[in-house]
Amino acid sequence: MESSSAIIDINIPTGRPSSSSDTPDVAPGTSSGSTAGTSVKRKTVSAPAKKRAKKHQERASKVPKQVSQSGCLMITLPIELFTEIFFYLFPRDLLALARSCKRLFQVLVNPSATLVWRRARVHLSHPVPDPSSNWTEWAYAAFIFDGGPCAICKRHVGDPYTSFSLRVRVCARPAECSTKWKQTLKRVDSSLHESNFIQFMRSIPRKETQSLPTDPPGIFWVDYTAWNTTNDRWRRAVESGNTQELVEGVQPRVAQIDRLLKTAEALCQWRGKYHISTYFVRERNNDLLRDKAAEKGWDIEDVMNSKVVKWLWRSWRVCEVISEKEWNHYLPEITDEVIWLNKRRLNRERERALQNRKADLREYWVQLKSHNRPDPMPNYPEFCKLPAVGVLMKSKVIFEEAMAEGGPMSTMIAEGLSEWANQGRNQLVKIVAGSKKKRAAKLDKTLVGGTVHPADRVTMLLTCKDCRETGIKGFSGACAHKCRASKKTWGLQRFNKDEIASSAMKRALEVMGLDGDETNWAAADKFGASLQCRSCAPSFIMLYFADIPKHARRHADMSLVVPTALPTEMPTFKYPFTQGVYAKLITRGSAMAPRREARSFGCRHCDHEKKQFALNGLRSHLKEKHKVADVGDEDFYEVASPPLAIDHAALNPHHSPPSPSEPWPGALEMGISM
């Protein structure tokens, strides 16, 4: 091996790059001479140390790599382990496993698994009779233990066949299914027919005798449909004279039916014993569970709903009784489940009782709203905040008894509503008064005599800060307000005073000669449509007090007067001015749809009644021709309304304005409401 300190000569010719063909090999320690006419200085470079070659002595591992498998690893078990497990199962379990996946299907539906099915069949407390030679064990198990539809009502039946020979299931619910099925059977008496005919009839399945009360010898039952088909074949054979050939041709079928009938008879006897055993096993298991529940102080419903108990209780299908050892083994799990179920059941009962009480309370709230009360009712959430309502919800007394009229609870709620209304009125006055302390203190004083509380006066008109609704009638209107723009909790803080409507209302009171401090909405509504809007001239528009807050926004400075005479010659004036009709017409729902679509509405701004509109047409007419965008009751009349009988004697031009105690008679007649 060469030394690592050898000298390497590198010659780089000028004029072009060097390549392997241009650079000669130079031995260590010798001169290369001149090349291409030009020589360069020799350059010595130390060669890098050579690495010693590694010897890979790793031997291949004799342990094979483990390949990760996805899915269920149980199906990868050896057949021997499967067989050992299957020996402890019952036919229903094997059927369920065979249908669970392809791997288990291949293992169980296999001639090599015949012993597994046979041992499962014999393992039952009442062993299933052996099948005939034409049956495989797995098909025989499916024939016995699989469910199917009822022959009458088509409901699923999980029990074995009612008739194994006819392969018919009949459910016990409803009870008439069994009666209806028996009506589909034909009773055949062998003594009434010739032997060849009876021999031929033996080629159709007949009901096993164990399924019916004992009949005399020679009596058997067949399906009506099969009987009619076979009887037609026999009739044709008799007509053609080949009955003997027909009887001989069905002999293999007769032998097959006889084998099936023999198996069906044995299965019918087994089914009777099986049903009796399962009945007694269920009763014993139920008695055990009831005793254990009583011993522990548990509710039997909670015990029966436990998952572990349900699993144990299903053992009646294989006629196994729940033993004390099994109960004690699973007792910790059962205890945890029963405690959880009991807690859940109690919570559900409490929640159900609370929901029922809330429903009763809401119904009571609706009932209170329908009464003519001096104070406005709060909305339902505010009503539930009353201290008396909180006491009622926590009480365990029956709701009807607690809320008996004149009882202590109803009295407490009535007092609570009155106190809530008084506090609300005072709070609303303070909010409207704002920072004017003297005015707020004055309005907050206890009012005596006939003076109306400021929150209930007709001049207390509000607007909502959120939805911008205007003309809200004081405290009662604030209580009834349903804000369309906010889902916040109801509160008086969202209301401000409607200055435009309040100013217009003050002018209306001055025109009528009324004192605003003594006029509330109940008194104002008695005057009816007694004010004329001069700003709407030449139209003759009469207004209720309730129309003024909305109507005032049409004019910068609305002029109101009490008319001394009415234009009875106007065709539209024979229809009464109404209040609240438009609000009813625009309500959602189909109840008002026919009335809205009828062309029975006329315009009061027009001086004729030649044309009537539907409601939408009227709105378009008012907006386009009269520039009225916000329609009110004063803008239209309804032809279907009864004509107004005007008392001309009451329309004296020199009649003085009415006093609060004596409304103007003409206005009262004009104020007929619908």
Lowest mean pLDDT among 12-26, 157-171, 360-374: 12-26
Radius of gyration of the chain (CA): 51
**At residue 532, what are phi and psi to the nearest 5 degrees?**
-105, 135
Rounded to an integer, the average pLDDT of 309-333 is: 86
Residues 6+ apart with CB under 8 A from 455: 424, 425, 426, 428, 429, 474, 475
Percent of the chain whose pLDDT exceeds 70: 81
pLDDT in tens, 641-671: 544 443 433 333 333 443 433 333 333 333 3
The answer to whether the CB of 172 falls within 8 A of the CB of 180 is no
Q: Does 156 fall in a domain?
A: yes
- Locate 377 and state its tokens: 């009712």
Q: What is the per-residue pLDDT for 101?
A: 86
Q: What is the per-residue pLDDT for 291?
A: 92
Q: How confident is the model at residue 68 (pLDDT cuts 50, 70, 90)?
A: low
Strand ranges (E), 217-277: 219-223
289 by DSSP, 3-state: which? helix
Residue 27 has pLDDT above 70, yes or no: no
Q: How confident is the model at residue 339 (pLDDT cuts 50, 70, 90)?
A: very high
Q: What is the per-residue pLDDT for 11?
A: 37
Are 124 and 246 in the same domain? no
pTM beyond cutoff 0.75:
no
Are 521 and 638 in the same domain? yes
CA 199 to chain centre: 63
The answer to whether the CB of 11 falls within 8 A of the CB of 35 is yes
Q: What is the per-residue pLDDT for 333?
A: 93
Total domain count for the chain? 4
Peptide bond preceding 538 in cis form (omega within 30 of 0): yes
Domain that holds residue 244: 148-279
pLDDT in tens, 368-392: 888 888 888 898 888 999 998 888 8
Are 101 and 30 in the same domain? no
Helices (H), 123-173: 137-145
Last residue of a domain, one of 279, 311, 338: 279
CA distance 204 to 215: 19
The answer to whether the CB of 203 falls within 8 A of the CB of 230 is yes
Q: What is the per-residue pLDDT for 435?
A: 52
Amino acid identity, position 636: F
Are 26 and 120 in the same domain? no
Round the average pLDDT of the chain to a whole number and report it.
79
**Cα dist from 606 to 550, 612, 637, whole Å:** 21, 11, 11
Q: Does 12 fall in a domain?
A: yes
Q: Can you spell out the DSSP letters for 93-125?
A: HHHHHHTT-HHHHHHHSSGGGHHHHHHHHHTSS
Q: How confident is the model at residue 46 (pLDDT cuts 50, 70, 90)?
A: low
Are 114 and 248 in the same domain? no
pLDDT in tens, 211-261: 555 567 778 888 888 889 888 988 888 888 888 888 888 888 888 888 888
Percent of the chain whose pLDDT exceeds 90: 13
pLDDT in tens, 518-545: 888 888 888 888 888 989 888 888 899 9
Partners of 80 in beta bridges = none
**Cα dist from 353 to 271, 316, 357, 389, whole Å:** 47, 37, 6, 16
Residue 17 has pLDDT above 50, yes or no: no
Q: Does 218 fall in a domain?
A: yes
CA distance 257 to 411: 85
Q: How confident is the model at residue 341 (pLDDT cuts 50, 70, 90)?
A: very high
Are 564 and 637 in the same domain? yes
Are 167 and 114 in the same domain? no
Residue 318 has pLDDT above 90, yes or no: no
CA distance 171 to 150: 6
pLDDT in tens, 448-458: 445 788 888 88
Element holding 185 (H helix, E strand)? strand 185-189
Are 41 and 79 in the same domain? no
Strand ranges (E), 524-644: 531-533, 542-543, 560-561, 601-603, 636-638
